[in-house]
Amino acid sequence: MAVFQHTVEEPLNREPSSTKLVENYVTEKIGYDRNHGPIPVIDGESHRVTIDGAVRSTLSLSVADLQALPQHTVVCALQCAGNRRHTMRTKLHEVQGVDWFDAAVMNCEWTGPRLRDVLLKAGVSLDEKKWKDAHAAFACYTAPTENSSWYGGSIPLDRAMRDDADVILAVQMNGETLSPNHGYPVRVIVPGIAGARSVKWVERVTVQMTESENYYQKYDYKVLPPDIDSKEAAEEVWDKVPALMGMPVNSAIGVPTKGSRVERDRDGHVLVKGYALPGCDSGPITKVEVSGDDGKTWQQATILDQDKFSTEPSKFKWAWCLWEAHVRMQPSTGKKLLSRATDQGGNQQQETCEWNLRGVAYNGYGETDEIEVV
């Protein structure tokens, strides 16, 4: 009998304040939790991951087997597709989903074998030409979810097999054994891709020609067209809209917080801090700008530790950056601050993005308002 924390009725969904989130480059302890059901407390000694489907030999791997493969560490942002949903519903139009603010994201160091090495060990039996149309499907059967008896998701097989896409079966987070809420004993980490595909407590990886049949792959986590404005209308199109994969370039402001009173420094500047996330495969972030006049003028923010991004771009390709700016402002009330990020691929955040019913992948300008400047 598995032991569970929380329930299907009340799963653990929480995020820190954005101010707290941007205090540290590596997110420790305060990372957001997103669960569609209870958290299983699994015995890591007896846990197995089955590798099956279009492979030459079906494998049943223990955690020790996974640790015996070459270990790879990746620094990446893991982000719920619904991050910043609150801004979409308040600025654009009501949406359906958990009311996430700007902190359903965390930047961590994950360690484990590359999924590619695990699949090569099993021997993918599909011709390489078919990899782009095939899928690596992940499943966790132990914990039920709100909409199904299990949780799963999939990614295109060619991404799983790319040696530069850094997809791993993580057994460690920030140098420590995973905690139950973040997937102990092993979870998938797919950098750049919506968090929903980074399946926790993973038990099975299947190479197959169809995407995962799981509810959360087929009937959730999709950017529905803007004319789909009800659950009923969505029923008609779930099958026609692709599953959300890559997340868009984004940024958010952690300091100052909405409604706060900020003191200017001696030169009349206000300190603004935040994070920025590159678009899917287009990292790292190359520029962040801030505006204190509703977007009429922009000034460049300082990307903290920018050296490491420019000297080791491939290491930080999937990571966020933290930034800060000193913005000149006059004493006043009801002020707004905006942020916008640009990544290596040239993707730049726009003022707003198109509305979608589930409020996923929102990436309009980062924003904080009702600021009193003194």
Ligand X SMILES: Nc1nc2c(c(=O)[nH]1)N[C@H]1C(S)=C(S)[C@@H](COP(=O)(O)O)O[C@H]1N2
Residue 212 vs 286, nearer CB to Mo ion: 212
Count how many residues are written for the chain: 374
Nearest approach in angstroms of CB 76 to ligand X is 12
Nearest approach in angstroms of CB 2 to ligand X is 13
Query: Could you say which of 192, 195, 256, 279 contacts ligand X (CB under 6 A)?
Result: 195
Contact 13, 34 (CB under 8 A): yes
Nearest approach in angstroms of CB 196 to Mo ion is 5
| Cα separation, 208 vs 54, whole angstroms | 6
- Range 135-164, binding ligand X (CB under 6 A): 140, 145, 151
User: Cβ–Cβ contacts within 10 Å for residue 200, how many?
Assistant: 23
| Cα separation, 297 vs 18, whole angstroms | 24
Query: Could you say which of 156, 192, 195, 366 contacts Mo ion (CB under 5 A)?
Result: 195
Query: Could you say which of 76, 119, 196, 277 contacts ligand X (CB under 6 A)?
Result: 196
Q: Quick check: helix, strand or coil at residue 103?
A: coil
Residue 144 vs 225, nearer CB to ligand X: 144
Contact 108, 27 (CB under 8 A): yes
250 burial class (0-12, 13-18, 19+ CB within 10 angstroms)?
buried
**Cβ neighbours of residue 374 closer than 8 Å, sequence gap 6 or more:** 261, 262, 263, 264, 331
Residue 38 vs 156, nearer CB to ligand X: 38
- Range 66-125, binding ligand X (CB under 6 A): 80
Nearest approach in angstroms of CB 16 to Mo ion is 16
Is 80 an interacting residue with respect to Mo ion (CB under 5 A)? yes
Binding mask 5-44 for Mo ion (x = CB under 5 A): -----------------------------x----------
Query: Could you say which of 16, 18, 32, 206 contacts ligand X (CB under 6 A)?
Result: 32
Binding partner of 200, given Mo ion, ligand X, none, CB within 5-8 angstroms per partner class: ligand X
359 burial class (0-12, 13-18, 19+ CB within 10 angstroms)?
buried
Is 204 an interacting residue with respect to Mo ion (CB under 5 A)? no
Q: Which DSSP letter does residue 243 get?
A: P
H-state helical runs in the chain: 18-21, 63-68, 85-91, 115-122, 157-161, 215-218, 231-237, 306-311
Nearest approach in angstroms of CB 34 to Mo ion is 4
Nearest approach in angstroms of CB 115 to ligand X is 15
Count of residues touching ligand X (by CB under 6 A): 18
Residue 95 vs 337, nearer CB to ligand X: 95
Binding partner of 215, given Mo ion, ligand X, none, CB within 5-8 angstroms per partner class: none
Cα Rg of the chain, angstroms: 21
**Cβ neighbours of residue 27 closer than 8 Å, sequence gap 6 or more:** 21, 106, 107, 108
Stretch that binds ligand X, among 19-27, 190-198, 336-344, 360-368 (CB under 6 A): 190-198
Residue from 119, 106, 122, 117 nearest 71 by CA: 117
Query: Could you say which of 42, 155, 199, 288 contacts ligand X (CB under 6 A)?
Result: 199
Give me the amino acid identity at 183: G
Query: Could you say which of 6, 14, 17, 33 contacts ligand X (CB under 6 A)?
Result: 33
Is 361 an interacting residue with respect to Mo ion (CB under 5 A)? no
Contact residues for Mo ion, defined by CB under 5 A: 34, 80, 195-196
Contact residues for ligand X, defined by CB under 6 A: 31-37, 80, 140, 145, 151, 182, 195-196, 198-201
